[in-house]
Amino acid sequence: MSKMIKKLLKKITGKKEEKKYPNRFLKHYYLHQDKLNKERRGSYSGRKKAGICVRCHHKAVSGIVFCDFHQKLQKGYNKKARGNK
């Protein structure tokens, strides 16, 4: 029997191989990835609309998604990432 026929039979019979994950946390993440991403995007957009900092629960600076503290940190991160220009 040729390899192509064997592959086709395996596909048709529906035998799914159990994927191996390095740990249970990654297994949970990959199995629930769509739901987790949807939840994360929902909480981000909800906080953004409400004017709450997306990293903590303080009031955000108008027009920005961060509070004063996290905006200051973000400016530092950006400066470092862009090469201290």
Query: Could you report the per-residue pLDDT of 2-53, keeping only the tens digit for each?
Result: 888 888 877 788 766 678 999 999 999 999 999 999 999 999 999 999 999 9
44 domain residue, yes or no? yes
What is the pLDDT at residue 17? 66
Q: Domain range holding 70? A: 19-81
What is the pLDDT at residue 69? 97
6 domain residue, yes or no? no
10 domain residue, yes or no? no
62 domain residue, yes or no? yes
Q: Which pTM does this prediction carry?
A: 0.62
For 65, residues 6+ apart whose C-beta sits below 8 A from its C-beta are 44, 47, 48, 53, 54
What is the pLDDT at residue 52? 97
66 domain residue, yes or no? yes
The total number of structural domains in the chain stands at 1
9 versus 85: which is more confidently predicted?
Answer: 9
67 domain residue, yes or no? yes
What is the pLDDT at residue 50? 95
